[in-house]
Amino acid sequence: MRSVMKASEFKAKCLEAMDHVAKTGEKIVITKRGIAVAQLTPVTKKPKTLFGFLKGSIHSHGDIISPIDVEWEANE
């Protein structure tokens, strides 16, 4: 399916276009007389709360808790 669609074509294939957008995540720009007038995009679901929304996206490698054997020098 094309990413730009005439309004008359969109009217005839509205449900098909909606299914395509939901399936692929691609947006479709709808034009009238060659001018973009609307855009059909997939709905993005927002989390109910920000607490825990990154769960599973951060991974640690090795031991990140034990002290390291490097001395630091601080300038005062």
Q: Domain span at residue 35?
A: 4-40
Q: CA 23, CA 12: separation in Å to the nearest integer?
A: 19
Residue 72 lies in a domain: no
59-71 burial, b for 16+ CB within 10 Å, e for fewer? Answer: eeeeeeeeeeeee
Considering the domain boundaries, does residue 29 fall inside one? yes
* 20 inside domain: yes
Asked if residue 45 is part of any domain, the answer here is: no
* pTM (global) more than 0.85: no
Tokens of 17: 């276009």
Please, which pLDDT band fits residue 76 given cuts at 50, 70 and 90? low
**61 within domain boundaries:** no
Residue 73 pLDDT > 90? no
What total of structural domains would you count in the chain?
A: 1
Rounded CA separation 7/34 (Å): 10
In a domain, 24, yes or no: yes
CATH of the domain at 29: 3.40.1620
- Cα 54 to chain centroid, rounded: 14
Q: Is residue 28 part of a domain?
A: yes
Distance, C-alpha 20 to centroid of its chain = 16
Q: Residues 13-67: pLDDT tens digits?
A: 999 999 999 999 999 999 999 999 999 999 887 777 888 878 888 888 888 888 8
